[in-house]
Amino acid sequence: MSNHPAPLVVARDLVKAYGRTPALRGAGLELGAGEIVAVTGASGSGKSTLLHCLAGIVRPDAGSVTYAGERVDTLPEHRLSELRRTAFGVVFQFGQLVPELTALDNVALPLMLDGSARPAARERAAGWLERFGVGEQRGLRPGQLSGGQAQRVALARALVTGPRVLFADEPTGALDSLAGEQVMTALVRTARESGTAVLVVTHDAQVAAYADREVRLRDGALAGAGVAA
C-alpha cells in the first residue's frame, strides 16, 4: 500500500463550539482512499466532534470538509442524507441497532431504504454477517446478542452499502478487550478487502495500533500525527 494515498476526505481549519465551549479549534485531517486512521486524544479533546463534522452529521462553525473534491460542510441536507446512505458508513460506541429487528433485517435495512427488494437485501446482508463472524446469529434480535456480536452486526450494517468511507466512533468503547480485539480484527480485514477508508475515534492505544496512522487531538487542535505501531 502506498504511504501517500490520494486524499479522499480533507478537513481544513475546523472550528466548532457548543455554546461557549469550544470543541474544535482549527483542526485538520486528511484521509486517503483505503487508509485506516485513528484519531486519539483525551476525553473532551474534540475527537467525536471532528468525526461528526467529517461525516456531515454536524456542521462546523468555520473551516471546510471535502469528500472526493465536494464540499461536505455546505451541502443541503438531502445531499448529505444521500452521502450517508451511499458513500459514508457510520458506527457508534453503542451500535444503535433497531431493537425490534433481527440481526439480518438490521443489516438489510439500509439496502431496503435505498430501494433494494427485500429478498436481495437479505441475501446481501447474510453475506456481510458471515464476513463478520455472526452469520449464525442472523435470526436474533439485538437484546439477544452479546456486546461484541451486536457491534459486529452494526459494522456489517455500516458496510453493507459498500461505502467508500467508514466513520467509527469508539467502536470498541463498550466492549471488553477480547471482544474489542475481535471487532477490530474483523473491521480491518473487511476494510482492506473492500478498499474502504476508515476513520476510527478511540481512547484505546490497542485499537489505535490497528491503524496505518494515528492523529492526536489536544484541546480541539491537532497535536501531532505518526504511523501507528
| DSSP letters for 118-174 | HHHHHHHHHHHHHHTT-GGGTT--GGGS-HHHHHHHHHHHHHTT--SEEEEESTTTT
**Residue 13 to residue 58: CA distance in whole angstroms:** 15
**Residue 132 to residue 185: CA distance in whole angstroms:** 9
Give residue 225's pLDDT: 47
Phi-psi region of 28 (alpha: psi -120 to 50; beta: other; left: phi over 0): beta
C-alpha cell at 143: 437484546
Phi-psi region of 44 (alpha: psi -120 to 50; beta: other; left: phi over 0): left
The distance in angstroms from the start CA to the end CA of the chain is 16
Give residue 23's pLDDT: 93
Give residue 43's pLDDT: 85
**Residue 162 to residue 194: CA distance in whole angstroms:** 8
Give residue 227's pLDDT: 36
- What is the pTM for the complete model shown? 0.89
**Residue 115 to residue 100: CA distance in whole angstroms:** 21
CB 166 within 8 A of CB 199: yes
pLDDT tens digits in sequence order for the chain, 229 residues long: 445 546 899 999 999 999 999 999 999 999 998 999 999 998 888 999 999 999 999 999 999 999 998 999 999 999 998 898 889 999 988 768 999 999 999 999 999 988 999 999 999 999 999 988 899 999 999 999 999 899 999 999 999 999 999 999 998 888 888 888 988 998 898 888 888 999 999 988 999 999 999 999 998 888 754 433 3
